[in-house]
Amino acid sequence: MVQIAVGNLLVGKHIRQGVGLCYNGKAWFSTALKTSVRSSLTAYNIKKEKEEETQTHDGPRAVHNNSHLGNSPKFTRNNPSNLREEDKLLKLLFKSAAKDVEDQVPKLSKFLMDNLDSTSLDYKDSSSLSSELLDIKEAPKNLPRSNLTRFKSNILKFKSRDSLLEHSDFKRIYPMREERVYDIGQKHCLSFDFVKGRHPKNLLSNGYFYLIFASFEEAAVYWLETLGRQLNGTDVTFSFADLNQEFEFFQTPLLKNLEISQFLNLKELDSVDKNKNEFASFIKFHKNKKEQLLKQQKKHDSLQENTELESGQGIGKISSNLNSMPLADHIPLHEQDKVNFEIKRSNCVLLANLPKHVTSEELHDFFWNYDLYPIEEEAIQLLLKNDLMNFNYWLVVFTNIDDAERCVRNLNGRHWYNNENMPLTHVETF
């Protein structure tokens, strides 16, 4: 009776539905068979218990009529013999059902491949998904009214104690295309610049990370799409930054040539009310400075080409021109053409917990196989002395991101010179 019940259940329901629900077949039917057998055995046990109750109420006659049952064990999963019976049923039914499914999988596959362009199929492609998404211009209207969204800015800030968060971490929490509400095309994520907020005098973290978007609409989209997400187990809560209050944490006088490209592209500077002229003049000053450096670099390149035809007097002329450049005073003549004056944030590394006796010269020797920034005064700087704890805080600037990341991998969380008597160093990118 159990075999008939299980067989009817499988043939009547799971085999017919399995072809449409399961592309692979085997894994799904294995679970379906186990469920079917167990449900059938449960139904059998319930029926058996009802028969026994009926026999008990009918008295001796019922016992006499069912005396042939003797002391046979109840068919339950607690009985080892019944477990063996269940396994036998599973093997028997799975073998026949799996064969039927395997015959149907190629047919289903061919049907799906032949009807990819059909509009009658009940599935959604990328075009239908994008047509249901909202335009990014609708995002500002959907922002809730709270202190987090009271500033109309294209800069979001996020507070966290995890100083090792990077640009890629904030890209990773952006939802996949199937989970998005707003249409950003085929892009994996919205484009934004990433800045770690730091105090300008000592470059200590202020505890905030800043995401700079091209417009207020894109910042609003990112705020809404990442609502409820988590970063390393912490709920993500962004707020819109006030440029007047936050801009001091973006720049530092310690790095005169720090990149400002992400600020030159801000399109909504008009949204800044307080100290508007001061902020705009700062951007304009640095923009003109960058253009001046590019002109001087081109002039230097053209003068260097003429040295092949001119005498030593021409070389002296080049030297005098280079010395007039604001950033060329500390750079050897033969390295002038190799220098990229702008310092990228990703090329800077901060070293904490270094022993007090470590000097700038020792750090230069330590990084002998790294490409340090050519201007020595900016390449390695002592930021903070802690006489009480007997350690110092340093800034090291490289010419490329690869050396900066290699420095973090090799030194972070390790003893200086592998000496266990030294404190563990903490290294992070700027």
Is the pLDDT at 354 greater than 80? The verdict is yes
Q: pLDDT tens digits for 159-212?
A: 998 888 989 999 999 998 888 899 988 888 999 989 999 998 889 999 999 999
- Strand-pairing partners, residue 355, are 391
Top-confidence residue, 121 or 426: 426
The pLDDT of residue 244:
73
**Looking only at Cα atoms, what is the longest distance across the chain?**
131
Task: Count Cα neighbours of 64 within 13 Å in the Cβ-side half-sphere.
Answer: 4
Does the pLDDT of residue 138 top 70, yes or no? Answer: yes
Are the beta carbons of 39 and 125 closer than 8 angstroms?
A: no
Tokens encoding 262: 């992400």
pLDDT of res. 312: 41
pTM of model > 0.85: no
Q: What is the mean pLDDT of residues 327-347?
A: 58
Q: What is the Cα–Cα distance from 41 to 35, expressed in whole angstroms?
A: 10
Segment 246-281, tens digit of pLDDT: 877 888 888 878 876 666 556 545 554 444 445 455
| Cβ atoms of 19 and 97 closer than 8 Å | no
Please check the confidence at residue 379 and state whether its pLDDT lies above 70: yes
d(CA 176, CA 186): 11
pLDDT digits (tens, 9 = 90+) for 280-290: 555 555 556 55
Cα dihedral value 286, 287, 291, 292, nearest 10? -30
Between 302 and 374, residue with greater pLDDT: 374
- What is the model's pLDDT at position 175? 92
At 375, the pLDDT band (50, 70, 90 cuts) reads confident
CA distance 428 to 350: 6
Q: Do the Cβ atoms of 299 and 322 come closer than 8 Å?
A: no
Strands of 193-198's sheet in order across: 193-198, 205-212, 155-159, 238-240
Higher pLDDT, 287 or 65: 287
